[in-house]
Structure 1
Amino acid sequence: MDELDLHYPSTCPFCTIASAYPPPSPSSSSSSPPKLWSQWNSHSEDLTSSIPSDAASHPEKTSPSSFVVLASADVLAFLDILPMTGGHLLVCTRAHRGKVEDLGAAEARSVGFWLPVLARVVKRVAGTTDYNIVQNNGARAAQVVPHVHFHIIPRPETMPEIKNKSWTMFGRGQRDELDDEMGAKMAAEMRRVLREEVGRIEMKGRKGPKL
């Protein structure tokens, strides 16, 4: 093992979240929403079912708490518990993949589908037009959790003071911890807005060709 890998957590926290928030069950109902990306995704899930209910996304299913916004077959999204700014969202693969180069075709397409949708959600909830999407690969590239993930970081007009450039994801350190009550409220609002975004996509899918 490379000496730079020694700081990695012994148990992948993102895999723990993935286990606690399972993917939606396949629906056989003919009245279910159109499966807009079944041609991409072997799971043939409909999009709405990938957004957990408030009850299903209870944050205390893991320790530390997880504030989940999306739990699809291939992709998860949840609030960073040490956010750089309010609304800092992490988007990761459900399966454990170390780096982007390890993604399979279906996973890559799923990530590519959800990233712009979630970016719109972050913008709306954070009330800003600007944001970063950051993705690190390997310890030398500042990847702390060795499970491929993307940061969507809203950039408000008035930026909080950042003491240093650490990208620490878990544990105490360089950024303030997310308050549980605030995290639960923000995640619930993001799920609500995500349902609206997905509703618009599904409506377009009914009217025209599949994505």
Structure 2
Amino acid sequence: MAEDKIVQSFDPGVIPADGDPCPFCNIVAAYAPFDPSSPPPASSPSLDPNKLAPPAFIVLSTPSLVAFLDILPLSPGHLLLCPRSHRPKLTDVTSQEAADLGASLRILSAALVRATGVNDWNVLQNNGAAAAQVVNHVHYHLIPRPEIRASGRFSESFTMFGRGVRQELDDDEAAALAERLRGCVAVVLEEESRKGRL
């Protein structure tokens, strides 16, 4: 699909009415959709991470959702996936958004394994402050879980339920990783289309 056609269907959705800025709505507004099977090059102004502060490293951007690297990752490759429309909790998403999120979780999971070389990962989704939801915009975490128990590297992230040590995202590493992830998404989509699974 040509980028101009995708952009024409772009609708950032509802911006929160509570007056509190939503960082995910800011990301949605700053980054137009692109064809995930043929992503723009990393040098494209459409992917410039410095459109926002802190920078946003986009991995997937469709008319209905966006995926980007977490700015405080639990491990390299920690992704966030959210609908473009502002939806506070999972029960607020439309049935089509839920279907798109589910399909994208599977594709992003396969791309994440390829890009990081880590074969285990968590998919987490929190609803409400009491459930540890920090940003009031529904989102999924995809967190690669490298094997640390056998390595003796116990200072690294705890391996259950998204807990662990968070470190700031390094911009240069993030740019390279986001590009690698976009490429892996394109490869996974190509493989899926050949299998007739899309």
SS state of the match for residue 48, structure 1?
coil
CA gap 1:142/1:22 in 2 versus in 1, 3 angstroms: same
Letter in 2 for 1:128: V
Deviations 1:133-161 (A, max 9, x none): 00000000000000000000000012653
Matched-pair contact (CA < 8 Å) for 1:142–1:167: no
Deviation sequence 1:162-209 (CA, Å, 0-9, x none): 49x9979xxxxx62100100110100100111111111122334xxxx
- In the alignment, structure 1 segments of 5+ residues that lack a partner are 1-7, 25-45, 169-173
8 Å CA contact retained: 1:52, 1:69: no
Does residue 13 of the first structure (1) align with residue 23 of the second (2)? yes
Contact 1:52 1:70 in 2 (8 A): no
* Structure 2 residue 104 is matched with structure 1 residue 94: no
Q: Deviations over 1:48-84 (max 9, x none)?
A: 26x4442121111111100000000111110001000
**SS in structure 1 of the partner of residue 141 of structure 2:** strand
Task: Report whether the alignment pairs 1:179 with 2:170.
Answer: yes
Task: Tell whether the 8 Å contact from 2:57 to 2:69 is kept in structure 1 after alignment.
Answer: yes
TM-fit CA distance, 1:10: 2.4
Q: CA RMSD in A?
A: 2.5
Offset, 1:99: 0.4
Q: Is the 8 A contact 2:126 2:133 kept in 1?
A: yes
The code of the aligned residue for 1:161 comes to E
Larger Rg over CA atoms? 1
Counterpart of 2:11 in structure 1 is: none
- How do 1:59-208 residues align onto structure 2 when only pairs under 5 Å count? 59-158=49-148, 160-162=155-157, 175-205=166-196
- The sequence identity of aligned pairs, in percent, is 43
Equivalent residues, number: 172
Name structure 2 gaps, 5 residues minimum.
1-17
| SS in structure 2 of the partner of residue 132 of structure 1 | strand
Structure 1 stretches of 4+ with a deviation exceeding 6 A read: 165-168
Q: Taking structure 1 as the reference length, what is the TM-score of the superposition?
A: 0.74
Q: Given the superposition, is the C-alpha separation of residues 203 and 162 from structure 1 closer, same or farther in structure 2, using an over 3 Å criterion?
A: closer
